[in-house]
Amino acid sequence: MASVKLEDCSPTLGLNVNIKAEDDVKHNIVESISKEQPQEDHKEKKSHCCSCCGRRFPSRSLLKRHMNIHTGEKPYSCSDCGKGFSQMCGLKAHKRIHTGEKPYSCSDCGKSFSKSDYLKVHIRIHSGEKPYSCPDCGKGFSISGSLKAHQRIHTGEKPYSCSDCGKRFSVRSSVKVHMRTHTGEKPYSCPDCGKGFSISDSLKVHQRIHTGEKPYSCSDCGKSFSDRISVKVHMRTHTGEKPYVCPDCGKGFSISGSLKAHQRIHTGEKPYSCSDCGKSFSDRISVKVHMRTHTGEKPYVCPDCGKGFSISGSLKAHQRIHTGEKPYSCSDCGKAFLRVDNLKAHIRIHTGEKPYFCSDCGKGFSRVNGLKAHESTHTGEKHYSCSDCGKSFSRVGHLYVHMRIHSGEKLHSCSDCGKGFLQVGSLKAHKRIHTGEKPYSCSDCGKGFSRADNLKVHMRIHS
């Protein structure tokens, strides 16, 4: 190694220059040594090799510490909870859980972390970096663990199972969440109403009910939603997609829950029952709606006439009385209807289909309501009674018509003279006065009548 004397440097440059020259010389010496023996130093630095995985270490102590990974030995344990670790650095990071210390913070948003690795992963949220890509579909991930879990979608692997029911999952966290269905644990509570949730994301979505926040909107119609899943389901109303198909009848559904409820039609299962009368239902919503028959609750009110309804669909159908809209028409005769179920029932007039049969006499009916009303002729049962006069009826429709006697309500009015009627049938009969139509004729003498009851009275003359 060459010797350099400071006194060889020009004294006129002063002390600062001499010091700088000395530093430069030292740097050059170190650099020249490293250039002369790079390979020898590298080998000497990592001369201790792991017999299990082949990884090399510069010292025996580091190799020994590394071997704990293979042997499973955990010589470092937490004094607070007793958890063991194979390396001291793991213990140090763990202890921050107890102390709450988070020494690593994000320079972009200020969020703090207990481990530098967590910070590194978090920074990818800001940078958008996704270094781990799926070789099957190309989807990118910011964490290698997320990629591994995702790949199980392609392989179908589900290595984690529930100890209670045996259900299997592709990720460990899903098992933890699933276990709460057995334990009933709901660790996440709403600070506004106290409602508990088993998943933190469910709490976040719920809180938007209180805040009114709807951050997700439909790209087609602009309708807003509080959660992403609702948008996805809503989009199917535009695309017509029905990915859930019944294996029994082939009927498609846009929501998996609707398919499950539908399948109970085939199985006859009715797991939900009314706490007041014990009546059973195939889905929870039907119980909720049914309960309103006991409570009298009618949360859906018509803005035109103030009439209340227990079901939103009934309100929509009712509003068509005011607008005159009849969106459902028969392809055979062109007759239009307010409701799709009325159209379905009407089509059976053309087809002659009567899918509902009386178990007592075998008589068939095109509507389930017709069957129920008929069955009461055998039982004498009249479920529907008037709150004003106590008169009972076998059909709810008859009760509604009867109630108009007390209220004086006449929903159906003649477009020619303005006269009002309680029933649509009465209006139809009245209109024949203006049109002169007489559809009922006597088979004996041929005389025509505008009403069927008038024909019956006339027939007594012949008998």
Query: Residues 270-329: pLDDT tens digits?
Result: 999 999 898 998 888 889 999 998 998 999 999 999 999 988 888 988 898 899 898 899
User: Which uninterrupted H or E stretch holds 441?
Assistant: strand 440-441
Range 50-86 burial, b when 16+ CB lie within 10 A, else e: eeeeeeebeeeeebebbbbeeeeeeebeeeeeeeebb
Over range 74-102, report the average pLDDT: 88
Instruction: Tell me the domain boundaries of the chain.
Output: 55-129
Which of 33-42, 194-203, 225-234 has the least mean pLDDT?
A: 33-42
Residue 224: enclosing H or E segment and its boundaries? strand 224-225
What is the Cα 29 distance to its own chain's centre? 69
Residue keyed to tokens 């509080």: 226
Distance CA 215, CA 413 (A): 47
pTM: 0.41
For the chain, the 3-state helix, strand and coil shares in percent, each to the nearest 5, are 45, 15, 40
Which amino acid would we find at residue 140? G
pLDDT at 45: 64
Helices and strands, counts by H and E, the chain: 17, 30
DSSP character for 8?
G
pLDDT in tens, 166-180: 999 988 889 999 999
| Pairing verdict, β 356-357 and 336-337 | unpaired
Distance CA 456, CA 453 (A): 5
* Location of structure tokens 């807003």: 224
Which CA distances in Å does 40 have to 31, 35, 62, 87? Answer: 15, 11, 20, 29
C-alpha–C-alpha distance, residues 420 and 413, integer Å:
4
CA 212 to chain centroid, in Å, comes to 18
The average pLDDT across 363-384 equals 83
pLDDT of 184-206, one tens digit each? Answer: 999 999 999 999 999 998 999 99
- 25/398: higher pLDDT: 398
Please give the full DSSP string across 338-374, using - where no structure is assigned. Answer: SSHHHHHHHHHHHH----EE-TTT--EESSHHHHHHH
pLDDT(417) > 80:
yes
Q: Comparing C-alpha atoms, which of 41, 32, 38 is closest to residue 2?
A: 32
pLDDT for 425 equals 83
Rounded Cα gap, residues 457 and 446, in angstroms: 14
> In the CATH hierarchy, which top-level class contains the domain 55-129?
alpha beta
Cβ(206)–Cβ(195) under 8 Å? yes
Res 44 pLDDT > 60 = no
